[in-house]
A and B are shown apart, each in its own frame.
Chain A
């Protein structure tokens, strides 16, 4: 009887859905997400010994996240090339006080919202998913993504601003007359 395997299973399997959700949002494809998660679980099993109890979720998600980016770099470099910083730093971001209408006043549906999240650059998509869907603290996100907490804050803030902007744009384009 292999105690190590049993411990690994107990630590990792409860987080399989979280692992898959993150991989699916990063690869944007069911088949690739499955491959990435499987690879990540193999890696996780290999490096399992350094894990302290109670930290298995951020630990596993960090491995999944790194596996995703390795995979994207190898298979779809265009999606992460140019990097987050260059891609976004120069992007046209309106100040929040210049927003033309309240988000509450526009109607977007589930499909629109998912499209808009999916279209975010990977570095912004990942912090948003980790925060909103996995409910992780800034500290955990900073360990998973391997950036300082200040960077987590600014990426989240930008991710949300981009998302608000694209929801406004999509909605305005689809429903003429909504924007006065």
Chain B
């Protein structure tokens, strides 16, 4: 096959736009061909980097106002709608306040920067209603999927019995690298657990940032970043349970 065609197929595969038959064929090829596999990883890394770091230009308030004001000039029912922005504005003010207050227990330096990055990823995932790359509560489905796309194998375990149900996994881009994002559901809340290899061990530290709770620790050669709006004590309890998963078969 011409490189051009292979490249198209690989892009469609990474975008999950390939039909099941072609997907199987390409996955077999990926298993055989390390060069192709490397190209695939590069594409996934690039996609994750673009999604994480390309500027998302939100419409300026002036434009939003102009569109609603123009509309309000037309006789009818537009003007009262401006009132609808009030709750949003109040919320935004609240968010700004939280920002101004900053970390409750300050993480410093590198840790604070990574905490920021992890929170941003979490917020983006939520705002974009980002789907799972692999949606499954079966750790034996999530783990191989992630391992095939990363240069390490993240520990994956379902904690439904403890109230944290595994809902899937996805790839994210943090700290300048492709990382595993294990997604758990706790009641109506989403918990993103970002995991990648690191040492040495670090004890649990936690913080609140932009209204989200962040818990971080390093153990057993893996560093974990948990981000959620789940209450901090619950999140810390979950964090303490997590490394048990590394000993699972």
A-side residues, CB < 8 A to B, are: 1-2, 5-6, 9, 13, 16-17, 19-21, 24-25, 30, 33-34, 37-38, 41, 95-97, 99, 102-104, 107-110, 113-114, 117, 128-129, 131-133, 135, 137-138, 153-154, 156-157, 160-161, 163-164, 167
Inter-chain contact total with CB atoms closer than 8 Å: 125
Interface size bucket, B side? 35 or more
Contact among A9, A114, A135 for B81, CB-based, below 8 A: A9
Of the candidates B11, B50, B177, the one whose C-beta lies within 8 Å of that of A113 is: B50
Given A5-B77, A34-B66, A138-B17, 7 more A-B residue pairs with CB atoms under 8 Å apart are A17-B56, A19-B59, A38-B70, A96-B39, A113-B50, A153-B8, A160-B46
A135–B12 CB distance below 8 A:
no
What secondary structure prevails in chain B residues at the interface with A? Answer: helix
Instruction: Using known A-B contacts A99-B42, A110-B53, determine if residue A37 contacts B78 with beta carbons closer than 8 Å.
Output: no
Which are the 3 A-B pairs with shortest beta-carbon distances?
A20-B59, A24-B57, A103-B42
24 sampled A-B residue pairs with Cβ under 8 A: A5-B76, A6-B77, A9-B71, A9-B78, A9-B81, A13-B67, A24-B57, A30-B57, A99-B39, A103-B42, A104-B45, A104-B151, A114-B53, A129-B54, A132-B54, A133-B51, A138-B12, A138-B15, A156-B11, A156-B15, A157-B7, A157-B8, A157-B10, A163-B46
B15-56 interface (Cβ within 8 A of A):
15, 17, 35-36, 38-39, 41-43, 45-47, 49-51, 53-56
Contacts of A132 in B (CB 8 A): 47, 50-51, 54
Chain B residues close to A by CB (< 8 Å): 3-4, 6-8, 10-12, 15, 17, 35-36, 38-39, 41-43, 45-47, 49-51, 53-60, 62-64, 66-67, 70-71, 74, 76-78, 81, 128, 130, 151, 176-178
Question: Does A96 lie within 8 Å of B3, measured CB to CB?
Answer: yes
Interface of A is mostly: helix
Q: How far is the CB of A169 from chain B (nearest CB, A)?
A: 14
B78 & A137 in contact (Cβ 8 Å cutoff): no
Is B63 a contact of A38 with CB atoms below 8 Å?
Answer: yes
